[in-house]
Amino acid sequence: MNRSIPNRRGSTMVFVVIMLPIIFALAGMAVNYSYIQVCKTKMQIVADASVRAAGREYVDSGDRDLALAAAQNMSNLNPVGTTTIALSSGDLEFGSSYKFGSNQKYSFNPTTGQGNAVRLTTNTFAGGGGDAPIPFFAVLGSNFEIRPTLTATNTQSTLDVALVVDRSGSMRSPADPAEAQIPGSEPDDVPLNSRWLDLVDAVDIFLNELNSSASTEKASLVSYSDNASDDVNLSSNYSAIRSQMDAFSDSFPGGYTNIHEGIMFGINSVTKSGYSRSWATRAIVLMSDGNATAGDDPLLAAAQAASLEIPIYTVSFSQEADQILMEQIAADTGGRHFHADTGAQLEDAFRSIAQAIPSLLTQ
């Protein structure tokens, strides 16, 4: 008995005809998705750059209108294709950003007073302000605009730093003991080849480095021998520090080496109300050319600095300096230790510290 075989000609073509629009739709969705992700990535980069510009302006001038103008200018300079992300005053929040522990993230808190941080949220753009890119392919016969809500936070980690310098009697000597001269009666001007004058030059280099920072850094001066003295309060004008260093050069007091009290005065200097900034990164630069010969154990003061999260960057100067102690102080507080045997090395150390103490930008 013959059985008839059904004729299936054209069935594959029907399947192709049915599936082809689906394939095209899926392909269009894939292209759109990729394009949307690329746009969002580029827009986030623009938001980051804009809030970074606003943050620098805000910390330097304290003017919120200028900060907004800086953000808008940066956005205008970096269009995404033909689209410029519109920004208005409602997109920026001003406040302070703190890091409460070495393993913690920065926390932003809006404030009506002066702070160190700006948070940008693209509310104006997301709400329909200005032009926006559209996907390549329409969805269900209509196009839509790509308007993500993006957020970026900029923290300008401005610096409050205390220079804590050794003015003990040994600082009248040269870095090379073979060049030592018999000192005159104290107080007296220091010899031309003294360690103190090497320090004066190194401090000047340090202050020049701070001046070149994009942020406004404050510095103070503490000096110590038998006892410590609070010589210059925190200020972004460093001329008083230079003047005081020169004054010591003309009439050098000398004495023993009370490193403990020098550190404690340094802590007080970078936390002093009316001069220190609550949002600033605080640090101490401690210099000594010898051993602790007066006062309490310097490591006790270092522990106090560590509890307040104030790093101490230490510089030991000359072959007689207690490098082990200075290394330990730096290690205990999260700072770094530098050693110098010559005036040139001392200058390099202070330059390196100015560059190593972070004026960080965190997001």
In this predicted model, what pLDDT tens digit does every residue of 274-332 receive, in sequence order?
A: 999 877 788 999 998 878 889 899 999 999 999 998 999 999 888 888 899 999 999 99
| 112 three-state secondary structure | coil
Residue 359 has pLDDT above 50, yes or no: no
Is the separation of the CB atoms in 116 and 78 below 8 Å? no
Residue 85 has pLDDT above 50, yes or no: yes
In this predicted model, what pLDDT tens digit does every residue of 131-175 receive, in sequence order?
A: 888 876 665 556 778 889 999 998 877 789 999 998 888 887 776
Q: Give the amino acid at 247.
A: A
| 155 three-state secondary structure | strand
Q: Are strands 151-156 and 361-362 parallel, antiparallel or unpaired?
A: antiparallel
| Torsion of the alpha carbons at 130, 133, 135 and 141, rounded to the nearest 10 | 30
Is the separation of the CB atoms in 175 and 195 below 8 Å? yes
pLDDT of residue 99: 63
Domain boundaries, the chain: 12-156, 159-362
**Residue 270, by phi and psi: left (phi above 0), alpha (psi -120 to 50) or beta?**
alpha
**Residue 114, by phi and psi: left (phi above 0), alpha (psi -120 to 50) or beta?**
beta
What is the average pLDDT across 76-105? 83
Total length of the chain: 363
At the topology level, CATH places domain 159-362 in Rossmann fold (3.40.50)
Q: What is the pTM of this model?
A: 0.62
Q: Using CA atoms, how far apart are residues 134 and 150, in angstroms rounded to an integer?
A: 17
Q: Is the dihedral of CA 54, 213, 310, 242 positive or negative?
A: negative
What is the average pLDDT across 337-346? 89
What is the average pLDDT across 124-133? 88
In this predicted model, what pLDDT tens digit does every residue of 190-209 receive, in sequence order?
A: 667 788 888 899 999 999 98
Q: Give the amino acid at 54.
A: A
Q: Which two three-digit tokens encode residue 54?
A: 């606003």
pLDDT of residue 33: 77
